């Protein structure tokens, strides 16, 4: 799907406040995004379907369905990067606890520079196909791909696909990146801060809840292999020894 557009990045901005919408549009356009803006969650879900963006900025407080429900509906069909934008700092902890499926959170007021930094951090991750973006059939890893194995788990790093036995796992980009980091270094105990730096590309220690939530989501999708992702009390996570 990416090849046809010559590398152009697309973003959908879901925001009902016109001033903030303009600010986000301006910021993303100057970062080279082609931007489509909508003012409601339902229009946002529809725009993701038709416009096939690489990034969504999603306001929490929207008329009609709110940002949380919008995020949930987008995640039914897409693993696009989602940055949730809230009116208040204090909301972020609560939002993260709700496991919205957003990749990052930002509170108003924010500067264009801050938004750019968050977006750049997301896009520093390799942009490659994921299982969720191509749901048809199972393709086994190609011969040249880096493939990681751990017990019943297998990750095709270049193809961005993860398998439990023969079954492909429907991971989001963030979950895939987390699993890959853990599987690359099975002996390493990762602190939450180190995972933030490595997977999210950020250093903000206050965001470590984000790691817990995404590890939780990843474990749910791993099914009976979930126990392989071990919590190291007071430290972080590591792959369990086999
Ligand atoms: Ca709003």
Q: How far is the CA of 85 from the centre of ligand 1 (A)?
A: 9
Q: How far is the CA of 214 from the centre of ligand 1 (A)?
A: 25
Q: How is residue 146 written in tokens?
A: 């880096």
Q: Which of 68-72, 93-97, 182-186, 191-195 has the lowest mean pLDDT?
A: 93-97
Does the 10-122 domain belong in CATH 3.40.50.2300?
yes
* CB-based contact 83:58 (threshold 8 Å): yes
More confident residue, 12 or 170: 12
Q: How far is the CA of 39 from the centre of ligand 1 (A)?
A: 9
Q: How is residue 5 written in tokens?
A: 């557009």
Q: How far is the CA of 58 from the centre of ligand 1 (A)?
A: 9
Q: How far is the CA of 49 from the centre of ligand 1 (A)?
A: 22
Q: How far is the CA of 100 from the centre of ligand 1 (A)?
A: 17
* CB-based contact 46:36 (threshold 8 Å): no
H/E stretch holding 237 reads strand 236-239
Of 37-46, 81-90, 165-174, give the range with the top mean pLDDT.
37-46
Backbone angles phi, psi at 85, to 5 degrees: -115, 125
- DSSP letter (8 states) at residue 166: T
What is the rounded distance in angstroms from the CA atom of residue 51 to the CA atom of residue 31?
Answer: 18
- The domain spans of the chain are 10-122, 143-239
Whether pLDDT at 65 is above 70: yes
Q: Is 48 helix (H, G, I), strand (E, B) or coil?
A: helix
Residues β-bridged to residue 56: 12, 82
Buried b (16+ CB within 10 A) or exposed e, 161-190: bbbbeeebbebbbbbbbbbbbbbeebeeeb
pLDDT band, very low/low/confident/very high, at 38 (cuts 50, 70, 90): very high
The class level of CATH for 143-239 reads mainly alpha
Q: How far is the CA of 110 from the centre of ligand 1 (A)?
A: 14
Q: How far is the CA of 21 from the centre of ligand 1 (A)?
A: 10
Residues β-bridged to residue 163: 154, 168
- What percentage of the chain reaches a pLDDT higher than 70? 86
Q: How far is the CA of 237 from the centre of ligand 1 (A)?
A: 36
* CB-based contact 91:74 (threshold 8 Å): no
What is the rounded distance in angstroms from the CA atom of residue 122 to the CA atom of residue 82?
Answer: 9
The predicted-structure confidence for 186-210, as pLDDT tens digits, reads as follows 888 998 888 888 888 776 655 677 7
**pTM reported for the whole predicted model:** 0.61
Q: How far is the CA of 206 from the centre of ligand 1 (A)?
A: 24
User: Can you tell me the mean pLDDT for 141-163?
Assistant: 85
């Amino acid at each position: 799907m990416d090849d046809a557009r010559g590398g152009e990045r697309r973003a959908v901005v879901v925001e009902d406040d016109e001033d903030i919408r303009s600010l986000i549009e301006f910021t993303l356009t100057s970062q080279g995004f082609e931007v489509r803006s909508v003012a409601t969650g339902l229009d946002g879900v529809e725009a993701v379907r038709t416009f096939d963006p690489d990034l969504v900025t999603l306001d929490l407080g929207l008329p009609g369905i709110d940002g949380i429900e919008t995020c949930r509906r987008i995640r039914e069909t897409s693993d696009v990067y989602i940055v949730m934008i809230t009116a208040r700092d204090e909301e972020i902890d609560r939002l993260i606890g709700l496991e919205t499926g957003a990749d990052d959170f930002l509170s108003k007021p924010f500067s264009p520079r801050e938004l750019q930094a968050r977006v750049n951090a997301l896009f520093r991750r390799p942009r490659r196909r994921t299982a969720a973006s191509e749901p048809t059939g199972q393709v086994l890893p190609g011969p040249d791909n880096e493939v990681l194995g751990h017990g019943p788990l297998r990750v095709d790093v270049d193809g961005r696909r993860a398998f439990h036995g023969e079954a492909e796992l429907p991971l989001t980009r963030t979950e895939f990146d987390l699993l890959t980091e853990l599987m690359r270094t099975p002996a390493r105990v990762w602190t939450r801060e180190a995972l933030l730096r490595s997977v999210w590309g950020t250093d903000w220690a206050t965001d470590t809840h984000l790691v817990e939530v995404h590890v939780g989501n990843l474990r749910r999708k791993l099914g009976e292999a979930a126990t392989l992702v071990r919590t190291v009390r007071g430290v972080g996570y590591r792959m369990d020894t086999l």
